[in-house]
Amino acid sequence: MTIIVNGEARQMADGITVRQLLDELQIPPTRVAVEVNLEIIPKSAYAERALQDADKIEIVHFVGGG
C-alpha cells in the first residue's frame, strides 16, 4: 500500500501499524507525536493502530524555537 508520511509517498506492507512504521523509519516513539488523517494517535495506541492505503501521516517532534 502507499501512504503519505510527512508529505512523501511511501510504499509499506499492508496493514502496518503506527508502531511498525516508526520502527521502519527508525524513529523512537517516545519523543514524537503522530497524526493519521488529522487524528492524533495516543502513544498507547501505536501498537494497535493499523494504517490503510492512502492514509496521510504526520510525524512531528520538537526542534529549536523561540
Partner 1 sequence: MSQGKLTIAGREFNSRLMVGTGKYASNDQMVAALEASGAEIITVAVRRVNLAEMGKGCMLDFIDPKKYTLLPNTAACFTAEDAIRTCRLAREAGLSDMVKLEVLGDEKTLFPDNEELLKAAKVLVGEGFTVLPYCSDDVILCKKLEQLGCAAVMPLAAPIGSGLGIRNPYNIKIIMEAVKIPVIVDAGVGTASDAAIAMELGCDAILMNTAIAGAKDPVAMARAMRLGVEAGRLAYEAGRIPKKLYATASSPLTDLIGS
Distance, in Å, from the CA atom of 10 to the CA atom of 45, rounded to the nearest integer, reads 22
The answer to whether 32 contacts partner 1 (rule: CB under 8 A) is yes
Which residues, 42 to 61, sit near partner 1 by CB under 8 A? 42-43, 58-61
| N-terminal to C-terminal alpha carbon distance within the chain | 39
Q: Name the one range near partner 1 by CB under 8 A: 11-19, 38-46, 47-55.
A: 38-46
Identify the H or E element spanning 24. Answer: helix 18-24
Residue 60's closest CA among 29, 31, 33?
33
For partner 1, the closer of residues 8 and 14 by Cβ is 8
Q: Which residues bind partner 1 (CB under 8 A)?
A: 5-8, 25-27, 31-35, 38, 40, 42-43, 58-66
